[in-house]
Structure 1
């Protein structure tokens, strides 16, 4: 199985002093995801949690929603001359009676570590395939978040990034309770992969939908990350950087609370502000 980090030689220059030394880098390798034996997608990822990554990807595709939708996930032999397993190909087998959405069967997908689901930018597609509405109901009261609590979550995420400390080159995604308790954190060279790993683990543990959770991502909040939150039933998505316009549109249409530029005590709430506790503050001058 592939390693999370790899060593490479580097020429280091510090204050005019030149030296040669090995450097620890985050590993990036392709993962081919097959669905019931047929190629579906290739993503560039950091090896590790591959089964969760594949399961989470299929949640965002509208294929999987519950643990019993999944029959099993196995590694397939890679394309090597000696026939050895590269651990870069996984096959996801669904239960026989599962209904496949047309959006998955009609296409093959190549995703890079930065773009996520590049070929699917349709709000209608998410609206029609989402299994877990995140609209607040009497049976599912809204999550209420204090801005002061949100403000400390990035530091808690950063403290849990073990591989980042060694490489400085990984995105991270974390799930928190409304009280700020860290439930899970995953790292990957692709931020969308990190989210898939979180969602995939929750699916396999029978914890979907993730209704009373907060998803925090390092970096920006793109459309595909908002999509993944909606498809997993997550009501709040927060990011340390900016959201895209389409992410804001999707959040507004689905009821997702979307927070961007979460840095220190500052943040912007782009949609779903009813979940953020607000207190009037008198301004001087």
Structure 2
């Protein structure tokens, strides 16, 4: 675009999930219910872990952090979507758009690192049960949590600083329900080569490393189980230990592949892309508490105890 047609914008217009007026009431109701279930379910899991001393272990330490991150991840997009539907305006200030982009990539990437930390924890529990306490010491757990937080903040900061230097066309309409990197870059009137290079570099470093860690952990778990003579019983025990985590990993990375690792399409606002992004940022955070609690006897016991304590305190 010619320099004379470039205009600094003070806000973007998020087009949302649907521009059809007849869909707005249904969307508002569904999103509100999903968000309330997400917040209530994840906070309930967190409260159960904090209140039960039996759950003060590395596995539940990471699950506690995953629940909090899921609440923040969902809160990055859903409240703004609800406000846009209610006010019938998708306008978002430039600074607010950058903040939303920062938070979405921060918490989304942190989710993947927490899943990797949980895979390492499961590897230590299955392959080295006698050394589990030494391998998953408080210092090791702190490093598995602290290093990713620093790395994900750095990633989001670089993307945000590079985005803030771009010039955007007047009346910029974002064909998505939140401010994501690639839709914003397509609206820019500036040279975006540095931004795309950062997307590629961080995509490889921050996307591949957690997945590689998860795959390597489960490869070692499978190898260890296959080496044991009583393999059938060992497989059942390993699956009961890792089943919930494997389910969440499959949902999370299946969606990530569908959204961010597919070849760039001419229409970034396609229904498929929106549906996949909605699954990643809204639906999966809602499902995680159910996945981890339905098959977990310790979480069920902690929730029953929490409910009993709440009932006794009211009486």
TM class, shorter-length: under 0.3
Between structures 1 and 2, the one with greater strand share: 1
- Please, what TM-score do these two structures have when normalized by structure 1? 0.24
Question: Which structure carries more relative contact order (alpha carbon 8 Å, separation 6+)?
Answer: 2
Whose helix fraction is larger, Structure 1's or Structure 2's?
A: 2
TM-score by length of 2: 0.23
Larger radius of gyration: 2
